[in-house]
C-alpha cells in the first residue's frame, strides 16, 4: 500500500538542521493544515506554493517528491 507523502516525509524528522529535507519535515509536522493523507503531486505542490514558509520550500518539496515517487511508483 502506498504511504502518504506526509508519512514518508516524517522519516526525515530529527535529522541534521543543515539538511533542507529535515527542515521541511519539521515544518510540515508543525503545520496542522498540511494535507496528511495526500499522495497527489498537484494537491501537495499547490499547498506548498500557497503556504510556503522559510522551511516549507518548493525546492525541498521537489527533492522529497522525487525520492517519494521513486520509492512508491
pLDDT in tens, 46-69: 999 998 789 999 999 999 999 999
pTM of the entire structure? 0.92
Helices and strands per DSSP (H, E), number in the chain: 4, 0
pLDDT at 2 over 90: no
Kindly report, residue by residue over 13-43, the tens digit of the pLDDT.
999 999 999 999 999 999 999 999 999 999 9
Task: Tell me the three cell numbers of residue 25.
Answer: 519535515
Q: What whole-number distance in Å separates Cα of residue 65 and Cα of residue 67?
A: 5
> Class of 5-72 per CATH?
mainly alpha
pLDDT at 1 over 80: no
Q: What whole-number distance in Å separates Cα of residue 69 and Cα of residue 33?
A: 23
Cα–Cα separations (whole angstroms), residue 45 to 5, 14, 15, 18: 11, 23, 23, 23
Task: Tell me the three cell numbers of residue 41.
Answer: 503531486
Amino acid at each position: 500500500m502506498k504511504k502518504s507523502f506526509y508519512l514518508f516525509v516524517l522519516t526525515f524528522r530529527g535529522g541534521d538542521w543543515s539538511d533542507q529535507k529535515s527542515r521541511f519535515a519539521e515544518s510540515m509536522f508543525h503545520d496542522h493544515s498540511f494535507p496528511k493523507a495526500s499522495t497527489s503531486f498537484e494537491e501537495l505542490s499547490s499547498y506548498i506554493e500557497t503556504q510556503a514558509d522559510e522551511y516549507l520550500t518548493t525546492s525541498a518539496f521537489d527533492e522529497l517528491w522525487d525520492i517519494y515517487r521513486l520509492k512508491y511508483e
